[in-house]
Amino acid sequence: MAAVPQPTPPAAPPFGIALAREAEGAAPVYRQIAARIRAEVEGGRLAGGTRLPTIRALAAALGVHRDTVGLAYETLAAEGLVEARVGRGTFVRARRARAPRPARAPEPAFAAAVERLLEFERARPRYADGEGVVPLHALVPDPRAYPVDAFRRALNRAFADGGASLLVYGGPQGHAGLREVLASRLRAAGVLVGPESVVLSAGASQGMTLALRLFAGPGDAVAVEEPTYHNVLAALLDLGLRAVPVPMRADGPDVDALERALHRPEVKAFYTIPTFHNPMGITTSLAHRRELLAVAAAAGKPVVEDAFEMDLRFTGRPVPPLAALDDAGLVVQLVSFSKSLFPGVRAGAVVARGRAVEALLALKHAADLGGALPLQAALADFVRTGAYDRHLASLRRRLRRRRDALLEALAAELPEGCAWTTPEGGYQIWVELPAPLGAREVFEDAAREGVLVAPGDQFYADGRPSRALRLTFAVADEAAIRRGVAILGRVVRARLRAPRAAPRPPQVHV
């Protein structure tokens, strides 16, 4: 019996293309064709140089119109996957070989100033919290004394008066009402300025950066006291500036050293904390301030006066700020509410004159579009209604009691050879330890016993070893201060009794 011929099975569609009808919600047919060819190319199954079927042949194989295949090829050509060669057809483009992907992507390179800042931050001491820890390192107001209810009422009144107008951008100079009350308080301290001279900032920290940028650019230098506020050292690093140290004496910065520093052409300004110095706690005399300003005027160099604790005097007679004694227009003053009220309000100001105000506004506008108007308006109300002065009166009494407790405890607990400053305001006392002790070893021993202090090396531009500690009475109450200093005294005495390793002989390299 003759075999019955079997029907020839239909040929498989090229590239495995199986088309779905657009009526079923599928993509347009030309996109389906392009997607399948794209997958073949990207998967390496269609190598570079491979000739694709002609438009006519592929259209016939798929049972679609030639224009549909033509549109698919045009789509792939636009993506750079295929190319049409006149008279020869359509070919897969040769793909460039990709470099092998590393096992781990390299980390991005940071700017040199950022790397220096990271190194500076890593050198800062690390503080641990815990039950019973005595925070003699903290330089923030005690949260237990924050006038929360009074400030909430001020905020409510500010919104009732200002409404939606407080929710727009504030402009670089800040809330007019707060600038007015600040100018009024500055005039009472002898700084004869109006609200037009006040540029509000996010605390004294932003103001400090703005003031430094006024006078110095990358590669320049700024004279600073030594020791000094560690965050100004960080700001200098961030701005690509160098610190030129001016040694601190018992009565303030060494004026002769300052004169030498300011006559160096690369030194563009001097940053100073004449009132309740951080970290030393001292306040310079009127005579010293006049001499300092005369040196700056002779050199033609501006002075940045950080008056961040100017409202915290609790004993002694006030000394006029540098800005009040400045006849040459050299002083730019920084003020803040972060230490006298609470840091969360983020309100400070830069006070300047003439073109410096215009330049500050340009810098401020480049940095942000204005501060938080609701907080600034509330703070203006808080000051205007007398709530701020009532808070200050209570805070000053508390700080004097705590300072006295700290001084009494130091006298009773620290061994002979220790010395310390006696501040008339602010939050900090500078303690010098006897040789051969180092601040870091005492800091580490005290921390293990639950007492936190600030080692002096972080207040020096080069981070060199120090025999000094900064102690604060901002957060710890009298009982905690006495307990903490008793522990600190035991630590210092134990360190003095402990045998010390013999110094290594110097190594000679030939």
| In a shared domain, residues 84 and 29 | yes
pLDDT at 267: 97
- Nearest-10 crossing angle of helices 55-62, 66-78: 120
Q: Are residues 383 and 237 in the same domain?
A: yes
Q: Which one is predicted more confidently, 117 or 248? A: 248
The share of the chain scoring above pLDDT 90, in percent, equals 66
341, 376, 308, 313: which is closest to 150 by C-alpha?
A: 341
Burial 458-491 (b: 16+ CB within 10 A, else e): bbbbeeeebbbbbbbbbbbebebbbbbbebbbeb
Q: How confident is the model at residue 320 (pLDDT cuts 50, 70, 90)?
A: very high
Q: What mean pLDDT is predicted for residues 79-99?
A: 82
* Domain shared by 198 and 295, yes or no: yes
Asked if residue 1 belongs to a domain, the reply is no
Q: In the predicted model, is pLDDT for residue 10 greater than 60?
A: no
Q: How many Cβ atoms are within 10 Å of 41's Cβ, its own excluded?
A: 22
Residue with tokens 């006038």: 147
Whether residues 424 and 473 fall in one domain: yes
Asked if residue 156 is part of any domain, the answer here is: yes
- The answer to whether the CB of 350 falls within 8 A of the CB of 208 is no
* Tens of pLDDT, residues 225-247: 999 999 999 999 999 999 999 99
Q: How many residues does the chain have?
A: 510
pLDDT, mean of residues 342-349: 92
Q: Which of 343, 349, 488, 506 is nearest to 429 (CA)?
A: 488
Same-domain status, 395 and 342: no
Q: What whole-number distance in Å separates Cα of residue 368 and Cα of residue 115?
A: 25
Distance CA 170, CA 364 (A): 12
Residues 88 and 174 in one domain: no
Task: Indicate the residue among 346, 370, 388 that finishes a domain.
Answer: 388
Rounded-to-integer distance, Cα 70 and Cα 30, Å: 8
Are 75 and 167 members of one domain?
Answer: no
In this structure, the answer to whether residues 256 and 340 fall within a common structural domain is yes
Report yes or no on 344 lying in a domain: yes
For residue 73, give every residue at least 6 positions away whose Cβ sits within 8 Å of its Cβ, in sequence order, or none: 34, 52, 55, 82, 84, 90
Residue 481 sits in which domain range?
123-139+390-497
Residues 408 and 421 reside in one and the same domain? yes
Do residue 238 and residue 304 come from a single domain?
yes
Q: In Å, how far from its chain's centre is CA 318?
A: 32
* Residue where one domain finishes, among candidates 343, 373, 388: 388
Separation of alpha carbons 485 and 490, rounded Å: 9
Residues 362 and 490 in one domain: no
The tally of domains found in the chain comes to 3
For residues 442 and 490, membership in a common domain is answered with yes
- CA–CA separation, 52 and 37 (whole Å): 9
Instruction: Answer whether residue 303 shows pLDDT above 90.
Output: yes
103 versus 251: the higher-pLDDT residue is 251
Q: How far apart are CA 386 and CA 380, in angstroms?
A: 10
DSSP string of 328-389, one letter each residue: SS-EEEEEESTTTT-GGG--EEEE--THHHHHHHHHHHHH-SB--HHHHHHHHHHHHTTHHH
**pLDDT score, position 8:** 46
| 6 has pLDDT over 60 | no
Compute CA 444 distance to the chain's CA centroid, rounded to the nearest angstrom. 26
